[in-house]
Amino acid sequence: MIEYQITEEDRKHPERSGVFVYYKNLKSGFTDNMPLTGWLEIQRNRNRKDKFALVRYVNPRFTQKPLKTRSAEQPEVEEDPLECPLCGYVAKDDKDLGDHKSTDHK
Count other Cβ atoms within 10 Å, centred on residue 70: 12
How far is the C-alpha of 23 from the C-alpha of 95, rounded, in Å? 22
Number of residues this chain uses to bind Zn ion (CB under 5 A): 4
Q: Rule CB under 5 A: say whether 89 interacts with Zn ion.
A: yes
Dihedrals phi, psi of 54, to nearest 5 degrees: -65, 130
Nearer to Zn ion, 6 or 84 (CB): 84
DSSP class of residue 92 equals S
CA atoms in the 13 A half-sphere facing the CB of 65: 7
Q: Rule CB under 5 A: say whether 24 interacts with Zn ion.
A: no
Q: Rule CB under 5 A: say whether 84 interacts with Zn ion.
A: yes
Least Å distance, CB 61 to Zn ion, is 21
The one segment of 13-21, 38-46, 50-58, 80-88 that binds Zn ion by CB under 5 A: 80-88
- Among positions 41-70, residues that touch Zn ion (CB under 5 A) are none
